[in-house]
Amino acid sequence: MTNNEQSTPEAPESEGAVEGVVETATNNDTASADVPSHGELILLLEDARSKADEHWDQVLRSNAELENLRRRAKQDVENAHRYALEKFTQELLPVKDSLEMGLAAASGETDAAEAIKQLREGTELTLKMLSAAMEKSGIKEIDPAGDTFNPEQHQAMSMQESEEYAPNTVMAVMQKGYQLNERLIRPAMVVVSKAKA
């Protein structure tokens, strides 16, 4: 065979081959009918762009809202720290006023016995006011006289032998302890009994 003979196309040898070519051409025509036209593609693109713009707008709004929430939360925390003692301070102001009035009354021109009596009464009332203010704020007094020693709430300052108290009992309270909402602020300083040797 020469090169010329190889380059000439051969005719289909059977009718089946011709039908296959026609069938392939028909399939290509139906496939091209599924492809959208130029105008349809532009409409699809514009629709996709508008949806993308809408979603981008939603993302920006969500980010702005989240930033505003963060800012508000930060400001709330700062205010909570700054004004945490406001309520307790309002409870303490009458106590201070009462102490000032007691000092003014004691420095007046009355006899000494009367001044001491007035000062004592005023101090007792002031102490009640202060205790009430502390209770309202969740501050609880720890006065463990006669109780069993508890190292989680008491601090033993000394131990003494005692026949009157069972071993490991608080005999005396040198300084009361305090808790704030069940959290220990200051342990009670106590004298604890021990058995005689």
Amino acid at 72: R
Categorize the per-residue pLDDT at 196 as very low, low, confident or very high, splitting at 50, 70 and 90: confident
CATH of the domain at 167: 2.30.22.10
Asked whether residue 107 is assigned to any structural domain, the reply reads no
How many independent structural domains does the chain possess? 1
- Long-range contacts of range 134-137, CB-CB < 8 Å, 24 or more positions apart? 134/178, 136/91, 137/87, 137/88, 137/91, 137/180
Asked whether residue 177 is assigned to any structural domain, the reply reads yes
Asked whether residue 28 is assigned to any structural domain, the reply reads no
Asked whether residue 31 is assigned to any structural domain, the reply reads no
Question: What is the separation of C-alpha 155 from the centre of its chain, rounded to a whole number of angstroms?
Answer: 33
Asked whether residue 41 is assigned to any structural domain, the reply reads no
Asked whether residue 1 is assigned to any structural domain, the reply reads no
pTM, entire model = 0.56
For strand 188-194 and strand 154-161, is the pairing parallel, antiparallel, or unpaired?
Answer: parallel
> Does residue 193 carry a pLDDT above 50?
yes
pLDDT per residue over 5-39, tens digit each?
444 444 444 454 445 544 554 455 555 557 889 98
Residue 182 belongs to what domain range?
Answer: 139-197
DSSP 162: -
pLDDT per residue over 114-143, tens digit each?
777 888 888 898 999 999 989 988 999 999
Asked whether residue 80 is assigned to any structural domain, the reply reads no
> Does residue 73 carry a pLDDT above 90?
yes
